[in-house]
Chains A and B, each alone.
Chain A
C-alpha cells in the first residue's frame, strides 16, 4: 500500500486510526468525574501532540539515523512560526501558503546553519547548533525587534521583524493584500483553510461524555500523517540506509566511494524543514510567534522526546512527544487539593505524609517526574518506549515468536 511494505503500512494505518479517533481515545473519563482531569481530548492539547510529533519525527531523521545530535533545532521551529506569521500579516489568513513559506524559510536557514555546523561532529556539532539557535533567539528577542519604521511612522515594522519579547502578533493594520483585513465583526481574522477556520469545532455529547472535534486538530493531524508517511519512505530508502551507514562507520563509507557530507547536510535540512512545518502549524493554531520558541530549552525538549520514545525508530518520536506533552499539561495541573482528595481515605497523619511525598512531583514539579522517567528509560530501556512495547509484545507472544522478532524487529539506536 502506498509503496510501503506490509509491516510499515500496518503501522501507518494504526497511527491513522489513533489520530483520527483521538478525540474519543483521549477522553476516556466522563465529564465532571474525579478522573476527568486526566482527559487529554481537548483541541489545544491534541494539536500540541501532533505538532510536536512532527517536530520530533523530523528531528529523528537527523538524530535517529545519522547520530548527529543537534541541540538547536528549536531555531527552525521559531523561524517557521515567524514565516507563517508574516504570511498571515502580508497576504492573508490561509494556512497553506503560510506553511509553505515556513518550510521554505526553515529549509534555507537549515542549509546555512547545517553547512557550518556539519564541519564538525560529535559534541562540537551539538555546541555549534546550540550557538546558532541562541543567536537566532537573541536576534529575535532584541536585534530584529527594534523599530524599523522610524519614529514618525507607525507601520508594519514598528516592532521590527519579530516583535521582540511580546512576540509577533496580528494587527488590524496589517495589509493582508489577498485576504480580508479584518473579520466581519471587526475583530482580528482567524487562520483558516479555504474558509474553514482553524479554531472552529463541533461537540458531541454522549451521556456524560463530551467529545470535541476541532478543525485545527484534524488539519494538523493530516499534516502529521503526511509527515509520518514521508519519514517512513525516507527510512526505507537508499538515502535512509546511507544515513544509518554514516552513524555506523564513516570511514568505511568514505572508502566505499560515498561522500558523507552532502548526506548529513540533506538530513539536516530535511529535519529543519520538518521543524519549520511544526512551527508554522503552531502559528496557524494560535497566531502568535515569540522568541521563547527558539530558546535552548525548546531544543532540549525535542531531544528528550526522541530519546524517550526511541531514537531511530519510526513511531518512537511521536510517542515521546505525546508522553512529554501529556505530562506537561496534565501532571502540572494536579495541585495539593486534588491530592488530598485522592488520599482522603487514609488516616489524617498518613494522608498528609503521602501528599507531602508526592507533592514535589506534580504541579510545577512535573519536570522532576519527567527527569526520573527519563533516567529510568535511558538506563533500563535504551530503545525508549518502543523497546518497552516490544518487550511487552514479546512476553505475550511467548518464546517461539521471540526468536523470530529478534531478527525482524527494528533495531533501536543507541
Chain B
C-alpha cells in the first residue's frame, strides 16, 4: 500500500470528463512523475489531492486517511506540501519571514494567537529556517524583499518553504515551467540532493521529459483523464501507447 492511494477518481466539469477512473498508487520514498499531454487532467488530479477540488466519485487516501472534504490547510497539516506552477510566495515579506511562516505552521498548527512574544526571539525556528535557506543556497538573500527576486529564486524559496515543513509528500506542479536550461538543471540537482538527504516522497507533474527521466522512479502517463500506463522510466520511453498519446494516432 502506497503513501498516496487514488482509487477510481472521477471528476466532471459540465460535459467534460476531466478525470475518468483514475487509479494511482505512490510508494513511500519514491519520485513519482505524472506526465501527459495538455488537457490530460494532470492539474485537476493534483487539485483533487490538495483539497482545492473534490472528486465526484472515488477516494484519495494519504497515509491511510481520506483527504476528501478536508481544506487545503488541513491537508497540509497531514503532511502534504505543494509547489505551484507559478511560484506562490508572500511577496510583501522578506525571504526570512517567508521561511518562518511554514516553521510556525509546523510547530503551532493551523492557528495560534501568539500576539505578544516577538518573532525575533524564536531562535530554534530561526535556526531551522536558516539551515534550510543554506541548503538551497539562499542564505545571503535572507533580508531581501521576496517580490523583488528573480523567478528562479522565487521557485527555490517556495521549494524551501515546503521542505522546511518536512512533508511526507511533496507535490510539484511543473517546477521547471518557463525556466532556462541552466535553471532547470539546478532544480534537478536540488531535488536529487533533497532526495538523498531525507526520506521524502515526491509526486511531480512535468512537461519536460529531461526532468522526468532524470528524477522519476515511476511514471504514470495520463491521457484524456485516464491513466494509460504506469511503469519505470526505461519502459516508458519505448512504450508505443505513450508515443501514441503524445504524438497523436495519425503519426
- A residues lining the B interface (CB < 8 Å): 3-5, 233-234, 236-242, 244-245, 247-249, 251-259, 262-263, 266, 270, 407, 411
Do residues A3 and B73 form an inter-chain contact, with CB atoms below 8 A?
no
B118: chain A residues at CB < 8 Å are 3-5, 233, 236-237
Do residues A262 and B76 form an inter-chain contact, with CB atoms below 8 A?
no
For B175-215 the 0/1 string (1 means CB < 8 A from A) is 00000000000000000000000000000000000000000
Task: Give 29 CB contacts A-B under 8 Å.
Answer: A3-B118, A4-B118, A234-B116, A236-B118, A236-B120, A237-B114, A237-B116, A238-B100, A238-B119, A239-B115, A240-B115, A241-B119, A242-B101, A245-B90, A245-B97, A249-B89, A252-B89, A252-B90, A253-B73, A254-B76, A255-B84, A255-B88, A256-B76, A256-B102, A257-B73, A258-B111, A270-B115, A411-B92, A411-B145
CB distance from B49 to the nearest CB of A (A): 12
**With A238-B114, A239-B114 in contact, do A257 and B119 touch (Cβ < 8 Å)?**
no
A4: chain B residues at CB < 8 Å are 118
Dominant SS at the A interface? helix
CB distance from A165 to the nearest CB of B (A): 39
Give Cα A244 to B93, complex, Å. 8
A249: chain B residues at CB < 8 Å are 88-91
Do residues B93 and A248 form an inter-chain contact, with CB atoms below 8 A?
yes
Contact of B110 with A by CB under 8 A: yes
For B135-152 the 0/1 string (1 means CB < 8 A from A) is 000000001010000000
- Say which residue of B81, B101, B110 sits within 8 Å of A241 (CB atoms): B101
B76: chain A residues at CB < 8 Å are 254-257
Interface size on B, residues (CB 8 A): 40
- Say which residue of A248, A258, A270 sits within 8 Å of B73 (CB atoms): A258
CB distance from B46 to the nearest CB of A (A): 12
Most buried by B among A4, A239, A254, A270: A254
- Closest-by-CB residue of A relative to B50 is A255
CB distance from A300 to the nearest CB of B (A): 26
Do residues A256 and B105 form an inter-chain contact, with CB atoms below 8 A?
yes
Which 5 residue pairs spanning A and B have beta carbons closest together?
Answer: A257-B76, A239-B115, A248-B92, A257-B105, A248-B90
- Closest-by-CB residue of B relative to A407 is B143
For B156-175 the 0/1 string (1 means CB < 8 A from A) is 00000100010000000000
CB distance from B177 to the nearest CB of A (A): 17
Give Cα A141 to B85, complex, Å. 54
- Closest-by-CB residue of A relative to B147 is A248
Contact of B77 with A by CB under 8 A: yes
Do residues B72 and A248 form an inter-chain contact, with CB atoms below 8 A?
no
B108: chain A residues at CB < 8 Å are 238
Most buried by A among B77, B116, B120: B116
Do residues B90 and A238 form an inter-chain contact, with CB atoms below 8 A?
no
Give Cα A407 to B105, complex, Å. 26
Most buried by A among B76, B84, B122, B143: B76
B165: chain A residues at CB < 8 Å are 256-257
Give Cα A366 to B101, complex, Å. 45
CB distance from B125 to the nearest CB of A (A): 9
Q: A233-B115, A238-B100, A244-B93 are in contact. List 14 more A-B contacts (CB 8 A).
A: A3-B117, A236-B120, A237-B118, A238-B117, A239-B114, A245-B93, A254-B72, A255-B73, A256-B161, A257-B110, A258-B73, A258-B105, A259-B71, A270-B115
Give Cα A249 to B91, complex, Å. 8
Give Cα A262 to B109, complex, Å. 12
